Amino acid sequence: MPDFNRQVIEEFRANGGRVGGMFEGASLLLLTTTGARSGRAHTNPAVYVRDGARLLVFASNAGGPKHPAWFHNLSADPYVTVELGTPEGTVERFGATAVVTEGEERDRLYAEQAERDPGFAAYQAATDRLIPVVALHPVDLGDPARHRAIADHLVKVHTELRAELTALREGLGSAASETAGPADAADVAGQAGSAEATGPAGSAATADTVVRGTPTLGGQLARHCLTFCGALHAHHHNEDSAFDLLEREFPELSDSLDRMREEHKVVARTVEELEALLTSGAAPATLRAEVDRLATRLEEHFTYEEAQLVPALTRSRPEPRT
């Protein structure tokens, strides 16, 4: 993250959404997206305007020739996290769904913003690309149908991650008794390149490092590690974004949600240690022990989450008395 963005983000969070310098007096929010290739969370400050129940942000990139990275991220995964300052001097954090406006609606919304702030007219004049206008729709967790959808999605993603982890362990087992030759290395390179192109697994640099740094691993292991680690990062980022909303809707889950947040940090450290081993050329036995450690922690974490969240999200709740 550039130092300038980091300073703005820190000032925003420390001062209830207010910042000085070039953004002083501006309506500013923090937008966290999931990296299209890395699966990791990325936070950027953005100028916004309210439009009814939704918030509008503009992918101006100060009139640069390319869309900002956050726009590419939300195009791949429209679930984002928004942070807004409140009148009480705190920062409100909530999940939202990003929708890229099109056609006449986009043109009208951008023209209105350019009228409010002539700088945006200058941004559009400076670039050949059409600057996107993105509408952020806050996620409504008060709807029981939404609760059930979240529970179903949680179980579905856990099932997929369990399957990926099983494939990762099987790939490690098959690599334990063999050394990858030139053909195997080429196979890994092809798989890693494909993962980089499609986005869910990791950056090209990471893929290349895994390929060159793990000569004892078969192609299946490298492919599944890239895919699994990226998907896990994205899942936990999305969960962290939803936990604040769930805590307001289900205050009785406060302690459980705190535990889940801490478990996310522990799992993230374990994944980082595994990724470091993969790039170091560690022996299969060492890798197997680290994958087993990750598998144990994840299964405990998934089981706890499902036991705490699914019943709360799917049970019938009494209607409030009028």
CA distance 52 to 8: 27
C-alpha distances in Å from residue 24, one per residue of 51, 92, 288, 294: 22, 19, 52, 45
Which residues have CB under 8 Å from 33's CB, separation 6+? 41, 42, 44, 70, 73, 74, 77, 80
Cβ atoms of 275 and 234 closer than 8 Å: no
Q: Residue 31: its pLDDT value, please?
A: 95
Cβ atoms of 286 and 280 closer than 8 Å: no
pLDDT averaged over every residue in the chain: 79
Query: With 90 as the cut, is the pLDDT of residue 278 above it?
Result: no
Total Cβ atoms within 10 A of residue 178 = 12
CA distance 33 to 35: 6
CA distance 226 to 102: 34
Q: Residue 98: its pLDDT value, please?
A: 94
CA distance 19 to 25: 8
**pLDDT tens-digit map of 74-132:** 999 898 889 999 888 899 888 888 999 999 999 999 999 999 999 999 999 999 999 99
Q: Residue 166: its pLDDT value, please?
A: 85
CA distance 16 to 89: 4
**pLDDT tens-digit map of 211-227:** 333 334 434 455 556 66
More confident position, 127 or 152: 127
CA distance 120 to 117: 6
Average pLDDT over residues 27-48: 88
The conformation of residue 21, written as its DSSP 8-state character, comes to G
Highest mean pLDDT among 174-178, 204-208, 235-239: 235-239
More confident position, 309 or 139: 309
Secondary structure percentages of the chain, helix, strand, coil, to 5: 60, 15, 25
At 87, list the tokens.
């009148």
User: Among residues 142, 148, 143, 146, which one has the least CA distance to residue 311?
Assistant: 148
* Residue type, position 119, single letter: G
In the chain, % of residues over pLDDT 90: 38
